[in-house]
Amino acid sequence: MLTLERSWTRPLPSSRQVRVDVWIAVVASLVSVASVEVYRNASGASVGWHGVEAHLWFALAGLVLAGRRRYPLTTLALESMIFFAVGERLTELGVVFTIQMTLFAALYAAWAWSRRPRGLFVLTAVVLVAMFGWLLYELRDPSVAPLEADGLLSAHAAIIIYSVAVNVVYFFGAIAWGQAAWLSARRSARIVEQIEREREQNEAERRRAVQSERVRIARDLHDVVAHHVSGIGVQAAGASRLLESRPDAAGKALEVIEGSSRQAVSQMHQLVGLLREVDEEHHDGRAPHPGIEAIAALVETVQDVEAEYHEVGEPFSVPPTIGVSMYRITQEALTNVQRHAAARRVTVTVRHVALVDGPDAVEVEILDDGRGASGRASSDSGGYGLMGIRERAAMHDGETEIGSRPNGGFRVRVRIPVGEES
């Protein structure tokens, strides 16, 4: 069903499209002038002032089409005035197909390309009222039907009905065709936007997957170091006790320590190599990771949901690893809100908590008014989701509170103590 809805603003034509319009206008102008000459020779119709007036009007009508996509309303207004001028001054030439087609093309382009809905509706109404009023005024005289008809209608009535019907098809056909072209362009633009949005989401998921893998490797690195260092400690203690009484056994213990240390270094090198990631925007590999101070900017990037950011407490220094984790936790929670929550509003609050009887802590809380736990991303959904949030918080001995709110919506709260990094 064709609708007159015009909420979308069509982008301006490209430079290539404008160049094409100029060439079309030149060709239309030449064809229009040629049509005048052919029609004059065939019918003997007058071409007006000094034998060139009709040629000038028709040439101008073709040239005006150069602005049909860049200035659609102006083009329609000019073509309407040229059409009226030809009809008044050169009545016989008003039926030439080229002057008819230039007005049709201008009306079509206005509805296909106009970026001013109110101006389009007003100008179209003016053109329709003027053209149909002019038509009926010209048909008021019964002498326009010199022959008497034998049918149900008089010749005069039949001419009026026929002329009005043809013009209804002519004008409203151009409007309908132009509106259909506008709707098609809007659908194409939305498809492109959807593809771009999905590409960005896929890229974000890829980054989260890489980050989660890096966290896993970091845990493996911690386990490797802890395992080998503890073994080295046991062997070193035994070697110190046997060094004087049993030097051979102490030497074997030292050999074990040496082998274990080499193995630890080798495994650490492998794991650290996996952790290296080339930053696409900073090829020197030293691009700063986002921290807790970047959460406010992250909230501003939220789309399709009204997002608010609040900061509570006196800010204090937060270790970089904790800052990155808090940023990633917020990023994952906001992604869930946009993709799964069907929420209208989300609030992100960062709190700096200074405690008297314990270590200071930093906390982030994400609240939304969506559909609660239903449909939320988790580790079973193909991504890392809420499980990844819990694991990241656990890395820093943090606490999490994740779930539906009593009055509707969903809550993600993570508090991490801030102390010396281990």
Asked, for residue 5, whether it belongs to a domain, the answer is: no
Asked, for residue 260, whether it belongs to a domain, the answer is: yes
DSSP state of 66: G
Q: Which of 81-90, 112-121, 251-260, 372-381 has the lowest mean pLDDT?
A: 372-381
Q: Which of 103-112, 174-183, 221-230, 387-396 has the lowest mean pLDDT?
A: 221-230
At residue 2, the 3 state secondary structure works out as coil
The amino acid present at 114, given as its one-letter code, is S
DSSP state of 339: I
DSSP state of 149: P
Cα 355 from Cα 314, distance rounded (Å)? 12
Q: Looking at the structure, do residues 247 and 101 belong to the same domain, yes or no? A: no
Q: Which of 46-50, 58-62, 224-228, 251-255 has the lowest mean pLDDT?
A: 224-228
Q: Looking at the structure, do residues 240 and 100 belong to the same domain, yes or no? A: no
Q: Which of 236-245, 305-314, 385-394 has the lowest mean pLDDT?
A: 236-245
pLDDT for residue 253 is more than 80: no
pLDDT, tens digit (0-9, with 9 covering 90-100), for 319-331: 877 888 898 899 8
Place of tokens 């736990």: 373
Q: Looking at the structure, do residues 38 and 128 belong to the same domain, yes or no? A: yes
Q: Looking at the structure, do residues 214 and 181 belong to the same domain, yes or no? A: no
Q: Looking at the structure, do residues 192 and 255 belong to the same domain, yes or no? A: no
Asked, for residue 283, whether it belongs to a domain, the answer is: no
Domain that holds residue 383: 292-417
Phi, psi torsion values for 276, nearest 5 degrees:
-70, 135
Beta strand 410-417 pairing with 399-404: antiparallel
Cα 87 from Cα 90, distance rounded (Å)? 6
Q: What CATH number corresponds to the domain at position 221?
A: 1.20.5
What is the pLDDT averaged over residues 23-32?
Answer: 96
pLDDT, tens digit (0-9, with 9 covering 90-100), for 352-395: 988 777 788 999 999 998 877 665 554 443 334 688 788 888 87
pLDDT for residue 157 is more than 90: no
Q: Looking at the structure, do residues 19 and 147 belong to the same domain, yes or no? A: yes
pLDDT, tens digit (0-9, with 9 covering 90-100), for 4-23: 888 889 999 999 999 999 99
Q: Looking at the structure, do residues 191 and 238 belong to the same domain, yes or no? A: no
CB within 8 Å of 119: residues ≥ 6 apart:
73
Asked, for residue 6, whether it belongs to a domain, the answer is: no
Asked, for residue 54, whether it belongs to a domain, the answer is: yes
Asked, for residue 285, whether it belongs to a domain, the answer is: no
The alpha carbons of the chain give a radius of gyration, in whole angstroms, of 39
Q: Looking at the structure, do residues 97 and 113 belong to the same domain, yes or no? A: yes
Asked, for residue 64, whether it belongs to a domain, the answer is: yes
What is the pLDDT averaged over residues 338-357?
Answer: 86
**Cβ(272)–Cβ(311) below 8 Å:** no
Q: Looking at the structure, do residues 265 and 362 belong to the same domain, yes or no? A: no
The two tokens of residue 42 are: 């065939």
Cα 65 from Cα 16, distance rounded (Å)? 15
Angle 41-47-50 (CA atoms, 0-180°, nearest 5)? 120
Asked, for residue 180, whether it belongs to a domain, the answer is: yes
Q: What CATH number corresponds to the domain at position 309?
A: 3.30.565.10
Q: How many domains does the chain have?
A: 3
**Of 178, 196, 214, at which residue does a domain stop?**
196
Q: How much is the pLDDT for 85?
A: 93
Identify the bridge partners of residue 346 per DSSP, sorted by sequence position.
Answer: 307, 368
Cα 184 from Cα 40, distance rounded (Å)? 41
Q: How much is the pLDDT for 177?
A: 95
Cα 90 from Cα 1, distance rounded (Å)? 40
**Of 196, 220, 248, at which residue does a domain stop?**
196
Q: Looking at the structure, do residues 222 and 245 belong to the same domain, yes or no? A: yes
Q: How much is the pLDDT for 98?
A: 94
Q: Looking at the structure, do residues 330 and 219 belong to the same domain, yes or no? A: no
CB within 8 Å of 15: residues ≥ 6 apart:
none
Cα 405 from Cα 387, distance rounded (Å)? 19
Q: Looking at the structure, do residues 192 and 209 belong to the same domain, yes or no? A: no
**Of 143, 172, 196, at which residue does a domain stop?**
196
Cα 340 from Cα 346, distance rounded (Å)? 13
Sheet strand arrangement including 306-312: 306-312, 345-353, 361-368, 410-417, 399-404
Phi, psi torsion values for 159, nearest 5 degrees:
-65, -40
| N residues, the chain | 422
Q: How many C-beta atoms lie closer than 10 Å to residue 191's C-beta?
A: 10
Cα 71 from Cα 91, distance rounded (Å)? 29
